[in-house]
Structure 1
Amino acid sequence: MGPVIRWFARTRVIGELPEGPIVVAPNHLTEIDSLVLCASLPRRLTFVAKNEYFARGGAGAWLYGNLCRLTGQIPISRDGAESAEAALNAAAGILRSGGVWAIYPEGTRSPDGRLFRGRTGAMRVALGKPCSVVPVGIVGTRSVNRPGRRGWRRGVVEIRIGSPIDLTEWTARTPDPQAWRAATDQLMSAIQRLTGQEYVDRYPTAAERVIRDAA
């Protein structure tokens, strides 16, 4: 699928990923963000994917669920911090092996193109481990995969790779939910500088997600 995705997205990558274990943390605008990232970045990315992709019915969902399995994606429950523990432990294993774990800190696609408050899962895993946390800004995927319009259109997508977040201030405080929160807020600020999105200091509401999914 790589050549097809690159033909539609005409992706430009600005910046480079460091070596060693990395947490790649991008903003999340459209359903094709993961495909564009995986087709454009030089290292293999492993995402967590919501359980529904693996379990829901229908031919399209079956195909997407199998794609997730074949590419080594990790199912995660979004019902609460405790239910996500197994997936976060698996993500920690990716980092221990020197790999790249990719996670959208917002936890879901933006309902309206703005950048919403980040969830702390990335920092729960990263703090206290010898890894880099790299903010990534995705710009332009909404022109390729526009909400409310069927099919893809050609566009220009930029993947802007930022400098790794300096975690020194919080590393000694793990496990500490306040440290997770502060480090996550720093990460979201770095992503916002890369994308120029308007920042909203709250999570998307259920109503906003319903309107997004209906579109």
Structure 2
Amino acid sequence: MTIICRVLMVYPKFIPNSFWNYTEPCELVGAKYPAAPLGLITVAAMLPKHWDIRLVNRNTEPLTDADLDWADLVMIGGMLNQQPDFIHLIDLAHLHGKPVCVGGPDVSSSPHLYADADFQVIGEAEQVIEDFIAAWESGERKGVFIAEKFKIDVTLSPMPRYDLIKFEHYLFIGVQYSRGCPFTCEFCDIIELYGRVPRTKTNDQI
């Protein structure tokens, strides 16, 4: 029998003084936020087709008790500048009795800060998402899944689930072309997370 999992994906709020929080220019053109959560909707495309998935971006819309009550599983992903709300969301989901799976750049950089989550996906999801899905569907409710660094073939990465986002909320919609960077800018952790050799998607994917 096919078991449907109801997944609530939540994108945490950015801290107020973050570079990512220039909301006033967005309002000038009727948008609510600069960019959509491309990472989460890419992960959504890797989940089983029969799972029911919803997305809430806390930078553009409220997260309600009804959202959390609906879910079987809460998945959260984000960056360093989202960390305070990210950690708050783990506690909030647990208050509603919901298991939490976390991933994204900040979890990969500082997994110890997210030890309260039930599942951790560390590194690029393509390599370990099938292991997570198998664990969940077999009844496991805790686990850590670590991808080998810099090994993902991004030409196998699926089309993101753009159907999950509200286009009118955003100033622009991102398209990921590559991962990794040849430069060593002192303010950026890209080379630590994704390596110094860019891995590019195909023309057809773009």
Which TM-score band (shorter chain)?
Answer: 0.3 to 0.5
Q: Which has the higher contact order (CA 8 A, sep 6+)?
A: 1
Structure with the largest fraction of helix: 1
TM-score, with structure 1 as normaliser: 0.32
TM-score, with structure 2 as normaliser: 0.33
